[in-house]
Structure 1
């Protein structure tokens, strides 16, 4: 019997085990156009926290007492859709479960056989890599010679941004939590990485920008918000561009953030733009060509923090907010 994690209740602040319930799924026949997938890997992503709250957003909230959703890859085991035959490997949005009945509403993508491990389609070759690529190159319009500041640079999206920027001839300053993560960010090609756990962000960023960026930054890729965003405002050069991907610092506490340097948006003429990767689906061909070349040439590294078994999904998800991952957080089934 297939099983799925359901949202049992909506968290007020930091989610806990009490908000989740693992339940069996009914065995339903396939309608025309649907197919059944046995999932092999589940994606674990910070944006899922927003869907646990009943607020208006770019995707609807998870329903109470209904299976949760997220990225997943697996193999078709039964099909009523000629485009997705038995044996095909598929990327889709029916995660948080071990088997899924998938239709067009779950955005399935039949995966080409290019000789990469299946879980890479949840990382640099999938939504994660596309988010980094479009945010950096389309939203922030980053270009060769720019100084790019990336928060959560040891995370899934952040580590991809670091490498894309390096591959495009930019200077990168990353931020990560702890010496080990910072060492990995520098290994990926960052000129410097500040350790936000070692002290306030702003003076560390100022020192790195002085050494590697002539005292300022041209682009900020924000995964964190809060103190990182304020430091980026303080050190932004005129006409800097900010790609606002996420604000994991403020997803759970609900507290107002002190922004001492936000006023510089006016004087420095900073452009700040939020985005989601689906805004740029028309450019997927460009992304796949660039990313595919970089992956084949060994110019894109990836690390994964892997939890095993469907039962571990909530623990993996909550680990995102403790900084428990380096690179992509995944659950292996």
Structure 2
């Protein structure tokens, strides 16, 4: 019996999650039953949506109770298979990976990964959930017209870095909000016209007005908080706000989201505010993946990864991502 280190939720966080909210246990390598795969984990993805899953509050995805094994996106090699569609040696991805070295996946949740076009971990980044979130939140929910100004918060993160490049490809005017000058410089390298450091700004409303002199037509809100208020106060007539994430609220997730009320601004600007969930666009995933891969092959998409090493680092990688300390897509490599 080999060790299979596995992370379990120890307690629901109060405020910002801490590493002691999880417990690492040595478990046996599991057996497979029915239409299942045993997979050796190579990469794990930690993402902002997981903050909702470790809260007792009602959420769009099923939550975890203390004692439950942590799960999320991952990539790994099939060790054994009860499915005719997969064989040992296949590389697969799924959003059902446990935070563990060996995991059992339902075969129907797994997708074979072809590493001839891009590194295997790209299916957790620009060719996966973050890339498709950027694609659909901007192009479908935001419905931008050529030349419009698109303001994007968390612009150097997994979703934001791709959304800004798609905006550039489509002839839009992308403006970044990020947390360090280094991140702003990276956003400019990706094609953002300019950017705002939300940690050093003295007046984010005024800085958004200066960065977007013609106003904000589309705001991709990956954070909530002050960036949201600044965008709302600079929104153009018929502006669109797409609420993709609320990571700025990670330290007070279970508390009421208290801040400015923008009802009159919404009325005057005839603005549209829409919540975004990627699952709503499942029927068009193939089209999005084809576009993203085509842009990557043409050299139009670049991405930055923040890689943590080893299964023991998963909770810390997750919490540092929530604190905004990551630079690019946060991944954990187990090999």
Same fold flag (TM > 0.5): yes
Task: Give 1:263's aligned residue.
Answer: 264
Which of the residues 202, 205, 210 maps onto 2:205? 202
Task: Give 2:181's aligned residue.
Answer: 179
Output the CA distance in 2 between the equivalents of 1:170 and 1:119. Answer: 28
Output the CA distance in 2 between the equivalents of 1:319 and 1:84. Answer: 35
Which region of structure 1 is more displaced relative to structure 2, 126-135 or 138-147?
Answer: 138-147
Task: Give 2:102's aligned residue.
Answer: 99
Which region of structure 1 is more displaced relative to structure 2, 194-203 or 176-185?
Answer: 194-203
Task: Give 1:273's aligned residue.
Answer: 274
Q: Is the 8 A contact 1:233 1:262 kept in 2?
A: no
Output the CA distance in 1 between the equivalents of 2:134 and 2:222. Answer: 10
Output the CA distance in 1 between the equivalents of 2:32 and 2:261. Answer: 56
Output the CA distance in 2 between the equivalents of 1:87 and 1:278. Answer: 29
* Partner-residue secondary structure (3-state), 1:18: helix
Q: Is the 8 A contact 2:32 2:104 kept in 1?
A: yes
* Partner-residue secondary structure (3-state), 1:156: coil
Please state how far the C-alpha of 1:286 moved relative to its aligned partner: 1.3
Task: Give 2:230's aligned residue.
Answer: 231
Task: Give 2:163's aligned residue.
Answer: 161
Q: How many corresponding residue pairs?
A: 328
* Partner-residue secondary structure (3-state), 1:74: strand
Output the CA distance in 2 between the equivalents of 1:273 and 1:3. Answer: 40
Q: Is the 8 A contact 2:114 2:120 kept in 1?
A: no
RMSD of equivalent CA atoms? 1.4
Task: Give 2:34's aligned residue.
Answer: 32
Please state how far the C-alpha of 1:258 moved relative to its aligned partner: 2.2
Which region of structure 1 is more displaced relative to structure 2, 21-30 or 238-247?
Answer: 21-30
Cα-to-partner distance string for 1:43-82 (whole Å, 9 max, x where unaligned): 0111111111112211100132121111000110111111
Q: Is the 8 A contact 1:132 1:157 kept in 2?
A: yes
Which region of structure 1 is more displaced relative to structure 2, 55-64 or 4-13?
Answer: 55-64
Q: Is the 8 A contact 2:29 2:102 kept in 1?
A: no
Task: Give 1:306's aligned residue.
Answer: 307
Instruction: Find out whether 1:325 has 2:329 as its counterpart.
Output: no
Which region of structure 1 is more displaced relative to structure 2, 33-42 or 260-269?
Answer: 260-269
Cα-to-partner distance string for 1:89-108 (whole Å, 9 max, x where unaligned): 11112142111010057x21
Task: Give 1:73's aligned residue.
Answer: 75
Which of the residues 73, 85, 88 maps onto 2:87? 85
Output the CA distance in 2 between the equivalents of 1:245 and 1:256. Answer: 16
Structure 2: give runs of 5+ residues left out of the alignment: none
Which of the residues 7, 12, 16 maps onto 2:18? 16
Task: Give 2:118's aligned residue.
Answer: 116
TM-score, with length taken from structure 2: 0.94
TM-score, with length taken from structure 1: 0.95
Output the CA distance in 2 between the equivalents of 1:72 and 1:262. Answer: 41
Q: Is the 8 A contact 2:37 2:107 kept in 1?
A: no
Cα-to-partner distance string for 1:167-189 (whole Å, 9 max, x where unaligned): 11100011111211100001100
Cα-to-partner distance string for 1:291-327 (whole Å, 9 max, x where unaligned): 0101111111110111100000111111012221111
Structure 1: give runs of 5+ residues left out of the alignment: none
